[in-house]
Amino acid sequence: MSDLLLDVSNLTAELGNSERPVRVCDGVGFSIRRGETLALLGESGCGKSMTALTLMRLLPLSGRITGGSVKLDDTELLDLTEREMRGVRGGRMAMIFQEPQTSLNPVLKVGDQIAEAVRLHQRLGKAEVAERVVELLRAVGIPDPARRAGEFPHQLSGGMKQRVMIAMALAGDPELLIADEPTTALDVTIQAQVLQLLKGLQAQTGMAVLLITHDLGVVAETADRLAVMYAGQIVEEASVDAFFAAPAHPYSRKLLESVPSAGKRRGELAVIPGRVPPLDQSFSGCRFADRCSQVMPACREAPIAWFQPNPGQQVRCLLWAEGPAHFRERNTSAVVGAVEPSLGSAQPETAAGALAAAGDTAKAKAKASGATRLEATAASAPARSSTEPAADRQTLLATAGLQVHFPIQRGLFRSTVGHVKAVDGVDLRLQAGQTLALVGESGCGKTTVGKAILRLELPTGGQVRYNGVDLASIRAGQMRRYRKDLQIIFQDPFASMNPRMLVGEIVGEGLQALGLEKGRAARRRRVAALLEQVGIGEQAMNRYPHEFSGGQRQRICIARALAVEPKLIVCDEPTSALDVSVQAQILNLLKRLQDELGLSYLFITHDISVVAYLAHEVAVMYLGRIVEQGAAAEVLDEPRHPYTRALLSAVPMMDKAERRQIIRLEGDMPSPAAPPTGCHFHPRCPQAIAECALAYPQPVQLSKTHSARCLRLEV
């Protein structure tokens, strides 16, 4: 039997009409060996998911495969009839789709959905099918699988739904599993469990995996090899070790330099200017040329051939045309730009140093290009030298014992039989001009805290003191005067905007509602200035939200929040669904605005790399309560609470030296409707003792700024 399982060569697929087709795959080629994991990287719109659908022959009705070859072992998949392909699809070759909630049938029990896949690919009796369903659920780590098989998708957590999707994909014992962003919407702890599950299944069955993702940490820890895709074409292919040691393509380097980290706090993150070009055009040269800092005239003249910088690594880039020695010599003398660092640095970590060393260049570029006031200010602003919060700053916002309990009502007369304790005694303090990051798993109450501070959810108890005024106790009419100072950026920018309103109306709505700009002409001038400030431009005023990319829509939401000149902005997962390149633009923008306007942020997220880059202080939340808080460096570098340690250990890291041994947490987070007695974390805590179940621990002061709630702490 050959070691080669999948061999794809010159695969081309199109969508739309034949006069101007969208070529989502254009001469794509790669191979996967048995038991190997190949990661497919790239920004949204590069064609990663469409490549996977092409391999499965699941293109939309307007799609067609126009050329190439896809061989699974000795079978040419493109020659099979649809009837024959059904035997392969879900059997020898299976796929986990990106969004489990939309991939599962909401009116069928999860056991029935898995059973359907089992019956299609295995000839088993009714009793044997039921046994196989339970066996699959147990294999993917779902507790009490017999009971869970009888539940509907909405009764499962996001991590469990993703596990059900994996179980369905494994029902046919596939030789190849295609995983399309299998962990994008999951917390780091659940993500670690899913990735470990896939690794374990690979080791047991010898299954190969095609992993589609934009999380470089996941790639570094999971994949054996990777392929970087840009505008429908693969531009680099290498082993994971070779790629992270020295990425060869300018696009690959920019992706790495865009990843936030604590080491890059002194400067702005590298960004990739522009967007992925539309795929309904004919390309004459390098597709990355318009966004590349080292583009040459020859790059635009003819298709780029493959070059080999190192053994086992190949790249489509003319910088390597004369060999690795000439490349290194050429780039040693290259000028390092402020946001376009030289390609000569081999390690991605050197991007931060290049940015810090190029401050003067940034100022000169901002002046020469006629940059906006915001950009020029950011270029000349002093860099923050520490992750420590400033001790002399004024406290802008403080919560004390904040509670938000939702009643559980049942029966004909809707009697209250209990409460969901979403937030149960939260104490936070946010200083003016600082960023407080609130982290924790989904369902712990982070977003509810943000909404309660803004009175979008009414607090059940406790205080929310803003500049000395308790917002939790004032009347709704009195709250109106504080709306100007307190704003929010929602997680999903598209869902938070009225699709029937123009961008100019959306951004200016707050000005009109609060009576800050009463004249239409004055509002339009203010909105135009705001859109310029966030880098969208005045021309966006007369367009609708659907005409923009995800990153651009998030900038519009930032402009809307800034319109009323707030002092505090609650940022609810503002970068969770964005590519690393777009995420870098948003983080740079938020950081610039804070430096220029003195804004304070309550930053709600589960992305620890974003926290390390942006936050001054960190609060870790579990089941409605804060378990640890302190300066960012203290919490991230020396976590003391067992939950914080488990959370940080699960974060995938690109650098092997920074990886921690993953601390496994058993089971799922308990329901806030019936929290455990004592410490809420003790049923899952690897260090729990009997006393942990008796009473909730009091805070232990570890330093002037660092505290945690745990009985096992040693000060």
For residue 582, what pLDDT is reported? 82
Q: 437-470, pLDDT tens digit by residue?
A: 999 988 889 999 999 999 999 999 999 999 989 9
Coil/strand/helix, residue 25: strand
For residue 333, what pLDDT is reported? 47
Q: Is the pLDDT of residue 335 over 70?
A: no
- Contact between 293 and 334 under an 8 Å Cβ cutoff? The reply is no
CB neighbour burial string for 671-694, b if at least 16 within 10 angstroms, e if fewer: ebeebbebbbbbbbbeebeeebee
| Among 71-85, 134-148, 630-644, the least confident range | 134-148
The DSSP symbol for 571 reads E
- Among 20, 461, 460, 37, smallest CA distance to 211 is for 37
Q: What is the mean pLDDT of residues 157-171?
A: 83
| Among 330-339, 500-509, 539-548, the least confident range | 330-339
| Among 12-16, 140-144, 350-354, the least confident range | 350-354
Angle at 623 between CA 619 and CA 624, to 5 degrees: 65
- Contact between 223 and 475 under an 8 Å Cβ cutoff? The reply is no
Q: What is the mean pLDDT of residues 58-64?
A: 91
Which residues face 439 on adjacent strands?
620
Cα separation values, 316 from 219, 321, 386, 580, 608, Å: 21, 9, 40, 22, 33
- Contact between 507 and 526 under an 8 Å Cβ cutoff? The reply is no
- Contact between 172 and 117 under an 8 Å Cβ cutoff? The reply is yes
User: What percentage of the chain carries pLDDT values higher than 90?
Assistant: 54
Indicate the average pLDDT of the chain: 85
Q: What is the mean pLDDT of residues 164-193?
A: 84
Considering the chain, tell me which residue range(s) the CATH 3.40.50.300 domain(s) occupy.
1-92+207-245, 395-485+566-708
Coil/strand/helix, residue 397: strand
Which CATH number is 1-92+207-245 given? Answer: 3.40.50.300
For residue 233, what pLDDT is reported? 95
* 162 confidence band (pLDDT: 50, 70, 90): confident
User: Using CA atoms, how far apart are residues 357 and 149, in angstroms rounded to an integer?
Assistant: 58
Which residues face 700 on adjacent strands?
708
For residue 328, what pLDDT is reported? 65
The DSSP symbol for 530 reads H
- Contact between 287 and 230 under an 8 Å Cβ cutoff? The reply is yes
pTM above 0.95, yes or no: no
Q: What is the mean pLDDT of residues 119-133?
A: 88
Q: What is the mean pLDDT of residues 387-398?
A: 71
Q: Is the pLDDT of residue 178 over 90?
A: yes
Q: Is the pLDDT of residue 307 over 70?
A: yes
Q: Is the pLDDT of residue 666 over 90?
A: no
CA terminus-to-terminus distance, the chain:
60
The number of residues making up the chain comes to: 715
Q: What is the mean pLDDT of residues 106-133?
A: 90
Q: Which residues, at least 6 apart from 219, have a Cβ–Cβ distance to it below 8 Å?
A: 39, 41, 211, 213, 226, 240
Strands 707-708 and 625-631: antiparallel
Q: What is the mean pLDDT of residues 557-573?
A: 92
- Contact between 249 and 320 under an 8 Å Cβ cutoff? The reply is no
Q: Which amino acid does the sequence have at 510?
A: G
Residue 232: half-sphere exposure toward Cβ, Cα within 13 Å: 23
For residue 442, what pLDDT is reported? 80
For residue 390, what pLDDT is reported? 54
The two structure tokens encoding residue 539: 């021309």
- Tell whether domain 395-485+566-708 is in CATH 3.40.630.30: no
* 334 confidence band (pLDDT: 50, 70, 90): very low
User: Using CA atoms, how far apart are residues 533 and 523, in angstroms rounded to an integer?
Assistant: 15
Q: What is the mean pLDDT of residues 532-557?
A: 86
For residue 331, what pLDDT is reported? 64
The label of the residue with tokens 């780039």 reads 331
The string of DSSP letters for 29-68 reads EEEEETT-EEEEE--TTSSHHHHHHHHHT---TT-EEEEE
Q: What is the mean pLDDT of residues 526-545?
A: 89
Q: 352-392, pLDDT tens digit by residue?
A: 333 233 333 333 333 333 333 333 333 333 344 344 555 55
